[in-house]
Structure 1
């Protein structure tokens, strides 16, 4: 097996993938959501609990009607007039966030117009946007696509649609996109600071052997991390 030093590994490729051991999720996450009937709020709270993100409720200055039919009439008028309903509060410390989840119910086949207001109120350059929505029957994909469309300066990860207030599948989705601390494929091996670790690639070559809390590997892929009596797989 070929043993490579940390410095040599760092020089192998242009794209270096950091393998952090025992660290928390490095991303600061905001879950911004609009909820009328409570379904989206339920899913947003679940996402916040899973990701350790912070919640921001998007609330209109003028509340929507509490009854279903009058609310749908207001929502349709807003859509047809391309309205931008005013939002009550602003996100504090916007620049501190790396990942922005944006969630809403499906209203008239797409995201409510207040989501347009939110998207136009902030600079998304350098941010990663993760769309999610709640729906009764259809137009999930159209709503997720609309959130992507109105945040063109951001990077985007796979979105998620929840039927009603169901959180079924949310944890699996968050794992898949690497948003759960400890299960992201980057930060899921905890070792003692002074423990010796050995990192292998899938062909059995040693890509690192020593004492470090962060190791650079030549490319994304599957690695085996061995520390004393612990052996774990890491997917980057």
Structure 2
């Protein structure tokens, strides 16, 4: 898979835990996307902020995580499922970079909504990339579950039983 990057945004740490496990199992570098203005840690307030940003197509400025992706061949892109799409910081990342010739693997955490439109929304932003089937996890996945999901999409895992 060449050089692998696992990039993600996580507010409540579920997506972070999934990203860390994917990084551990693939040997990929990990990068957290951090917006200039953080979201509220109150779920209802954060939901209002996010819904407003998504409806406006707003892409927040990132203070971390937007560094070059040139050296990576494979990029896992992770987000919580927010209103059936990626979190606005992830959209900022997608719109900043050229993914030509890259292999993209979406992943998300959700509370029952699966991928929603996430895979399609990422594919729309990465038209020059190869998009593989992604990994959608309800809540927090276990190590073996992630290894099995990676295997299903044809990615070798370092996980040993």
Which of the two has higher C-alpha Rg? 1
Q: Is the 8 A contact 2:7 2:65 kept in 1?
A: no
Aligned to 1:224: none
CA distance in 2, matches of 1:174, 1:139: 17
- Structure 2 gap ranges (5+): none
CA distance in 2, matches of 1:151, 1:87: 19
Q: Does 1:56 align with 2:31?
A: yes
Aligned to 1:179: 155
Aligned to 1:113: 88
Aligned to 2:106: 131
CA distance in 2, matches of 1:90, 1:54: 12
CA distance in 2, matches of 1:81, 1:174: 34
Q: Does 1:152 align with 2:135?
A: no
Q: 1:71 aligns with which of 37, 40, 46?
A: 46
Q: Does 1:170 align with 2:146?
A: yes
CA distance in 2, matches of 1:169, 1:112: 24
Aligned-residue Cα RMSD (Å) equals 1.8
* Cα gap change, 1:117 to 1:182, in 2 (>3 Å): closer
**Cα deviation per residue 1:104-154 (whole Å; 9 max; x = unaligned)?**
001112112221111011110010000000000114242222222221121
- Cα offset, 1:64, TM superposition: 0.6
* Cα gap change, 1:69 to 1:119, in 2 (>3 Å): same
TM-score by structure 1 length?
A: 0.63
Aligned to 2:64: 89
Q: Is the 8 A contact 1:133 1:144 kept in 2?
A: no
Q: 1:44 aligns with which of 15, 19, 37?
A: 19
**Cα deviation per residue 1:204-230 (whole Å; 9 max; x = unaligned)?**
xxxxxxxxxxxxxxxxxxxxxxxxxxx
Q: Secondary structure at the match of 1:140?
A: coil
- Cα offset, 1:169, TM superposition: 2.8
CA distance in 2, matches of 1:69, 1:77: 13
- Structure 1 gap ranges (5+): 1-25, 184-236
